[in-house]
């Protein structure tokens, strides 16, 4: 049986930080992006596939297909799950996917968001999703890159 080695919330999904630091840190060999809009956008999918190092498998799936894959991780797969928002993880949990921990890596400023912690912003709806995720016995923390410290979010809610 394979495993989920990292579950990360990041607006940008795939970018240099994820590709270098987190791949090395986790030993991941399969990146699974779960995002309905991205899964339906062939141009964005082709751009993202170019950003993935050779030897790393990439799957870009909507929530339903993502839940099906993540509920039964194939043997030998060390999966890094990436999603843009906490509501995606909450949907995956509601569909039976098990996560021990979800990290918040990049949630930038937007019109509907306010500063949550340092350079991380969240809307009220996203904070409610954090609460529900934590209520499902999933640890959540802010952890931008592996060699920096992390901050549990319970005290910030």
What per-residue confidence (pLDDT) applies to 149? Answer: 81
Q: How far is CA 10 from CA 7, 18, 20, 46, 124, in A?
A: 10, 9, 15, 19, 17
Q: pLDDT above 70 covers what percent of the chain?
A: 100
DSSP 30-78: EEEEE-HHHHT-HHHHHHHHHHSPTT-EEEEE-HHHHHHHHHTPPTT-E
Is the pLDDT assigned to residue 25 strictly greater than 90? yes
Per-residue pLDDT reduced to its tens digit, 118-129: 888 899 999 999
DSSP 119: T
- In order of their start, the domains of the chain are 3-156 (3.40.35.10)
Per-residue pLDDT reduced to its tens digit, 88-142: 999 999 999 999 999 998 888 889 888 888 888 899 999 999 999 999 999 999 9
Average per-residue pLDDT in the chain?
91
Q: pLDDT above 90 covers what percent of the chain?
A: 69
Extract long-range pairs of 88-92: CB within 8 Å, 24+ residues apart. Answer: 88/34, 88/35, 88/63, 89/7, 89/9, 89/129, 89/133, 89/138, 90/129, 90/132, 90/133, 91/63, 91/67, 92/34, 92/63, 92/66, 92/67
Query: What CA–CA distance (Å, rounded) separates 147 from 20?
Result: 12
Work out the pLDDT band at 42, boundaries 50, 70, 90. very high
Tokens read off for 35: 């995002």
Query: What CA–CA distance (Å, rounded) separates 143 from 55?
Result: 26
- The whole-model pTM stands at 0.93
Q: Rounded to a whole number, what is the distance in angstroms from the first to the last CA of the chain? A: 35
Which has more pLDDT, 78 or 156?
78
Q: Determine the average pLDDT of the residues in 33-42.
A: 96
What per-residue confidence (pLDDT) applies to 10? Answer: 93
Is the pLDDT assigned to residue 150 strictly greater than 90? no
Is the pLDDT assigned to residue 74 strictly greater than 80? yes
């Amino acid at each position: 049986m394979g495993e989920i080695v990292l579950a990360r919330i990041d607006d940008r999904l795939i970018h240099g930080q994820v590709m270098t630091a987190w791949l090395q840190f986790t030993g991941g060999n399969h990146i699974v992006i779960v995002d309905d809009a991205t899964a339906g956008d062939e141009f964005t999918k082709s751009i993202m596939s170019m950003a993935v190092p050779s030897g790393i498998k990439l799957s870009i799936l909507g929530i339903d297909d993502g839940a099906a894959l993540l509920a039964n991780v194939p043997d030998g797969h060390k999966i890094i799950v990436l999603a843009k928002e906490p509501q995606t993880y909450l949907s995956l949990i509601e569909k039976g996917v098990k996560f021990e921990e979800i990290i918040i890596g990049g949630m930038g400023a937007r019109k509907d968001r306010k500063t949550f912690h340092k350079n991380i912003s969240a809307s009220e709806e996203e904070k409610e999703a954090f609460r529900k995720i934590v209520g499902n016995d999933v640890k959540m923390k802010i952890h931008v890159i592996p060699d920096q410290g992390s901050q549990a979010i319970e005290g910030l809610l």
